Amino acid sequence: MKNLVKGAALLVVMFLSTQFANAQQKIGHVSFNEIFSLTTDFKTAQDQLKTLGEAKTKEIQALYTEFQTKQTAANDKLRNRSEANKDKVDAELQTLGTELQDMQNRITEFQRLAQEEVQKKEEELFTPIQKKVADAITAVSKEKGYAYVLDVSTGSIPYFQGGDDLTPAVKSKLGIK
């Protein structure tokens, strides 16, 4: 019986000490997206992506202009078709139709490849920035003794009240004003 009382008392003490330790853990929050979008690296990367996107758009527009020119030529041939030149024009239209279909396929493929290239470049540029911000958040959290830091910019935290906003400290660590 005496051992049972000692065991129960030990369990109560362990439970209370665990609760006390949990109550002492600090919780903070940051806005990852805000920090990420304010870095100078982000602005540089965004400019590079914009330039790449504009270049790809011009290339696609040039292909589409060539397509429209051939399509207009085919429509003109069709309008000028007569019984006298029917066979010759039909053969030319057949050839133009095949060329137009090939061009359409090339344009579609070029658009797909351009989109993939832009996405790959975006990942290549943004991944190191994301790591840099995450490392800064980790460093600030450790320096300030936080057990948990939540990202409030994702919208996946249904409710939080209070806690310490570490966003300014992380911005400062990254040299963002």
- Please, what's the largest Cα pairwise distance for the chain? 118
Q: Which position has the higher pLDDT, 18 or 152?
A: 152
- Tens of pLDDT, residue by residue over 103-127, are 999 999 999 999 999 999 999 999 9
Residue 149: CB atoms within 10 Å: 22
- Mean of the per-residue pLDDT values of the chain: 85
Angle at 17 between CA 14 and CA 20, to 5 degrees: 150
User: What pLDDT band is residue 23 in, cutting at 50, 70 and 90?
Assistant: low
CA dihedral 154, 155, 158, 164 (to 10 degrees): 60
Contact 149, 28 (CB under 8 A): yes
- Tens of pLDDT, residue by residue over 63-85, are 999 999 999 988 888 887 888 88
- Tens of pLDDT, residue by residue over 45-58, are 999 999 999 999 99
**pLDDT at 170 exceeding the cut of 50:** yes
In sequence order, which residues have a C-beta less than 8 Å from that of residue 25 and are 6 or more positions away?
147, 148
In sequence order, which residues have a C-beta less than 8 Å from that of residue 29 and are 6 or more positions away?
149, 150, 151, 152, 157, 160, 163, 164, 165, 166, 167
Predicted local distance difference test score (pLDDT) of residue 14: 57
Contact 138, 105 (CB under 8 A): no
Helix, strand, coil fractions of the chain, as percent rounded to 5: 75, 5, 15
